[in-house]
């Protein structure tokens, strides 16, 4: 069990293009993937990407049952995805408030595709493919962005819709988080 420190916005390591994983093996599971799971759980994140713990590989983890950071979000199955890719299944987008463990204390309004198909390998090297919508689709797009050196603030179109959670909560713009 190793909780790693999460790199924060401003760290140039978060801006790199991550490398594809060549071999999915026990070593990868017991090191990088386990550290990502432990770190995500400790930080109560809805998702994490390997570059956030300083590992420049194309691995993302996401999922939530009931997450105090996202009280209105529908559940998403806990998923480990290696070398993920996605395709939008419609040009429809919507905007919602996002947060990120690399941008602590802030939320911003970000446009994302509403309906996507994603694929990748699971932790056993088996191919996984899903058609998903809304919050589930949003989380995947956010995490894949991390593998391409993008953080959600780069996607915000109207920077007046970016701010500290406390202030946004007080203004009634995002739901108050119980913690
Ligand atoms: Ni993030």
- Could you tell me the CATH number of the domain that includes residue 157? 3.90.45.10
Token pair 């970016």: residue: 162
Domain count, the chain: 1
Rounded-to-integer distance, Cα 152 and Cα 37, Å:
21
Rounded-to-integer distance, Cα 172 and Cα 85, Å:
35
Rounded-to-integer distance, Cα 23 and Cα 82, Å:
10
Nearest Cα neighbor of 83 from 137, 123, 26, 36 is: 123
- Average confidence score pLDDT of the chain: 94
Residue 17 resides in a domain: yes
Rounded-to-integer distance, Cα 64 and Cα 103, Å:
19
Q: What does the pLDDT read at residue 72?
A: 72
Residue 163 resides in a domain: yes
For 75, the domain range is 12-170
Residue 175 resides in a domain: no
The pairing of strands 76-88 and 59-64 is antiparallel
Take residue 96 and report the two structure tokens written for it. Answer: 């919602």
Distance from the alpha carbon of residue 168 to the mean position of ligand 1, in angstroms: 19
What's the Cα-to-Cα distance from 17 to each of 7, 57, 110, 111, 145, rounded to whole Å? 15, 9, 21, 22, 10
Distance from the alpha carbon of residue 2 to the mean position of ligand 1, in angstroms: 19
Q: What does the pLDDT read at residue 67?
A: 65
Distance from the alpha carbon of residue 102 to the mean position of ligand 1, in angstroms: 6
Residue 1 resides in a domain: no
pLDDT tens digits, one per residue of 143-164? 999 999 999 999 999 999 999 9
Residue 18 resides in a domain: yes
Residue 7 resides in a domain: no
Whether 129 is catalytic is: no
pLDDT tens digits, one per residue of 33-54? 999 999 999 999 999 999 999 9
Residue 6 resides in a domain: no
Q: What does the pLDDT read at residue 37?
A: 96
Residue 104 resides in a domain: yes
């Amino acid at each position: 069990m190793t909780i790693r420190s999460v790199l924060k916005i401003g760290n140039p390591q978060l801006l790199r293009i991550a490398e594809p994983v060549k071999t999915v093996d026990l070593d990868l599971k017991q090191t990088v993937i386990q550290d990502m799971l432990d770190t995500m759980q400790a930080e109560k994140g809805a998702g994490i990407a390997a570059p956030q713990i300083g590992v420049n590989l194309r691995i993302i983890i996401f999922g939530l049952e009931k997450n105090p950071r996202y009280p209105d979000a529908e559940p998403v199955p806990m998923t480990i995805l290696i070398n993920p890719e996605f395709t939008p299944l419609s040009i429809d987008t919507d905007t919602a408030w996002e947060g990120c463990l690399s941008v602590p204390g802030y939320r911003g309004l970000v446009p994302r595709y509403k309906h996507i198909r994603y694929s990748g390998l699971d932790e056993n090297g088996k191919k996984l493919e899903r058609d998903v919508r809304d919050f589930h689709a949003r989380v995947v797009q956010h995490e894949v962005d991390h593998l391409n050196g993008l953080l959600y603030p780069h996607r915000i179109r109207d920077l007046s819709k970016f701010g500290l959670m406390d202030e946004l909560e007080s203004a009634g713009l995002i739901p108050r988080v119980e913690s």
